[in-house]
Structure 1
Amino acid sequence: MSTKKMTTVGVLCAMALALNLVIRFPMIPTVSFLNYDPKDVVIVIGGLMYGPMTSLIMSAVCSGLEIFYRGGTPLDVVMNMISTCAFACTAAWIYKHNRTKNGAVFGLAAGVIASTASMLLWNYIITPIYFQIPRETVAMMLLPGYLPFNLLKSSLNAGLVLFLYKPVATILRRSSLAEKKVYEEKRSRGMVLLGFFIALTAICVTLALQGWI
């Protein structure tokens, strides 16, 4: 990894952690102990720039550092990484092999599905051990709680990535933190509008579930 790439990844990790500190809120009342934070948006952007391995490294760094200011256990780090990597690495891997607008959209959609499915499985396996509750209780929470939370969370992140990728990429390029070839695609108004629509829909659904609208 070049010095410039290491610097850029470090800056992105710092951005992800800053967002994690500033923005954090529940999305689904039935699982109010699960909170949304937007760090995955930055981790996905890093993956789209440099590939799935970068998303994996950023996920490990951010998840590891998060326990120092939020507390937690190694199990929290593992679950955090599973959720992030299922989304970010899937999207980055598909985009790496199809660096087009359609590839980005398909990669993010696949990431949403992979993250949601993986968290249903791993919460069913790990949550009873972590909280010392019957597995049957967790099973009853999967469809009304864990499924909509992870689906909304991943969809909101996907929309924000589509909306923010090009501006973030442009800032990094103009700051000489990344090479121009990483951002060959022109910004598409359609992609921005799609990202805005997906993010707005996820936010409105969240607000409706919380009874705020």
Structure 2
Amino acid sequence: MNTKTRKITTIGMLCALAYVMVAIGRIPIVLFLKYDPKDIIIAIGGLIFGPLTSFVVALIVSLIELFTISDNGIIGFAMNIISSCSFACMAAFVYKKRKKLSGAIIGLLCGWACMVTVMMLWNYLIAPLYMGYPREAVVKLLLPAFLPFNLIKGGLNASITMLLYKPIVTALRRTHLIEAPSNSEKARINIGAILVAVMVVVTCVLFTLSLKGII
């Protein structure tokens, strides 16, 4: 199997996995807003192959969603692409410039910040169309609903991507779908980064439970 075929096969697998995650993994967070983990897979694809791959996977998965499980039609399709790409493409772009563990962490944090900022703007612009609310009502929801939702979503995406990237890449290398790194490219497992990622996940979960009034 040549390199191009391996890449196409891997991207196809990532698309399938991302779609399964959104189809069965939706979790209500705030009001009608639901978290799904597909952006984790989209980001991992970008970290492996570059930001263009993140865009392609986000486009394909969002298109499949549009014709299968979406409730918001073409507006939801556009919002899915914007949300996924603002996180995953930014993370992949930064990592492409600095292919080290620190570059991956910085990239994921930049993706988190970018997604929160972009989605606050687009929710202000687009949410009145698919929610059927006047813009004044949407503005009142930006801080108590949309902001915490996007903070939780971005935090979970960044931290879980950090935790899953190494195992997924290792599995893909063992199946020869991606090339093994040279000795100079091999990254050591950083316990500190793993602990930070776990802490972010726990914080996001506790924040979600507090918003729901469970704790």
Alignment TM-score, normalising by the size of structure 1: 0.94
Gaps of 5+ in 1: none
Aligned to 1:87: 87
Q: In terms of mean alpha carbon deviation, does 42-51 or 18-27 score higher?
A: 18-27
For residue 205 of structure 1, what is the aligned residue in structure 2? Answer: 207
Instruction: Give the stretch that moved more between structures: 19-28 or 114-123.
Output: 19-28
Residue 27 (structure 2) aligns with: 25
State the aligned residue count. Answer: 210
Alignment map for 1:1-213 (pairs within 5 Å): 2-28=4-30, 32-71=31-70, 72-181=72-181, 184-213=186-215
Q: Is the 8 A contact 1:64 1:77 kept in 2?
A: yes
- Partners of 2:124 and 2:62 in 1: how far apart? 21
Q: 1:88 offset after TM fit, Å?
A: 0.4
Tell whether the 8 Å contact from 1:158 to 1:199 is kept in structure 2 after alignment. no
SS across alignment from 2:181: helix
| Structure 1 residue 189, shift from structure 2 partner | 2.0
CA contact 1:162–1:194 (8 Å) conserved in 2: no
Cα drift, residue 186 of structure 1: 2.6
Give the deviation of 1:34 after TM superposition: 1.1
Q: Which amino acid aligns with 1:126?
A: I
Question: What stretches of structure 2 of length at least 5 have no aligned partner?
Answer: none
Determine if contact 1:52/1:92 at 8 Å carries over to the other structure: yes
**What is the CA-CA distance between 1:190 and the residue it aligns to?**
2.0
Question: 1:142 and 1:118 mapped to 2: Cα distance?
Answer: 13
Report which stretch shifted further, 194-203 or 146-155: 194-203
Alignment root-mean-square deviation, CA: 1.5
Partner deviation per Cα, 1:100-142 (whole Å, 9 max, x = no partner): 1111111111111110111110111111122332111111110
SS in 2 for 1:187: coil
Q: Tell me by how many angstroms 1:187 deviates.
A: 2.4
1:174-211 deviation digits (Å, cap 9, x = unpaired): 01111113973232222222211111211121122222
Indicate the SS of the match to 1:68: helix
Q: Distance in 1 between matches of 2:24 and 2:193?
A: 27
2:175 partner letter: S
Distance 1:53 1:212 in 2: 40
CA–CA distance in structure 1, aligned partners of residues 176 and 117 of structure 2: 38
**Cα deviation digits, residues 31-80 of structure 1 (max 9, x gap):** x2110000000100000011100000000011110122213411111100
